[in-house]
Chain A
Amino acid sequence: MSFYLGLSAILFVIGVAGFIFRRNIITVFMCIELMLNAVNLSFVTFANYHKQVSGHIFTFFVMVVAAAEAAVGLAIILTVFKNRTTLNIDEVDSLKN
């Protein structure tokens, strides 16, 4: 079981690394999906550990929220690209000054 939780932690940290170091807004979004997947893996592992199906239900809800988030987030990316013609997150800094 600790193998599964360790794999979940490693995937989550890789997702955080991409979130910090990447500059392309779509890649940053994909790293968020990677982090959600890592957390889903630990949910399913705990469902196996406790022999209860509740962890699967939580994973199901996380998937639903991730799908909704992907739809809205990609629409926001489309709008930003239409107005700015850039995908670099450093150049989207209207809130800064």
Chain B
Amino acid sequence: MVDLLFFGLFATVAVLCAINVVVQKHPISSALSLVGVMASLAVLYLLLGGEFIAMAQIIVYAGAVMVLFIFVIMLLNAGIEVRRGRSWMATIFGAPALLGLLGVLACLLVRWFPDSPVIKFGDFTGGTAKEVGMALFTDYLLPFEVTSVLILIAILGAVVLARKELD
């Protein structure tokens, strides 16, 4: 009962912050709302038994990625976005296409999981750092190493793209 209450509270916060991300005019406001979405999703991960993932969500997303976003917003001095010249396709087909997408997702959800179980807090405890680490360094060792190469390439690409031209 209590976990349903927590789910309702943080799901509401997440949806409101997500809507706020889209409707805010200023990028800084959008970024702060996105931090709210990520924090409430971290609480939902805790309710689902993913302790390691919840902490990684806070540290990596709300900590690192959003700080990077806010640095870039301040560096570029991004102001309020000007609204003009919307493409007519987005204006006409945008809202119906979105409602259709939501309908398709809801239909698949109802069809595939007609009697979905109720999730109770504490009935899955396999998401601790120990379990995740064991799986990561035994079964998923090769993807882990490939990911480290990917990060190295991404760092090099970011440095090459953002450096000043030397001439």
A contact residues vs B (CB 8 Å cutoff): 1-7, 9-18, 20-24, 26-27, 29-31, 33-34, 37, 40-41, 44-45, 47-49, 51-54, 56-57, 59-61, 63-72, 74-79, 81, 87-88, 90
Contacts and interface: CB of A to CB of B under 8 A. Distances in A.
Contacts of B81: 22-24, 27, 87-88
A63 B56 contact: yes
Contacts, number: 213
Which label, helix, strand, loop or mixed, suits the secondary structure of the A interface?
helix
B113 interface: yes
Interface residues of B, number: 75
A45 B48 contact: yes
A4 B40 CA distance: 13
Given A3-B7, A30-B21, A30-B69, A90 B85 contact: yes
Interface string B1-40: 0000001000100110011011000010011001001100
B78 A24 contact: yes
Contact of A63 (B61, B106, B140): B61
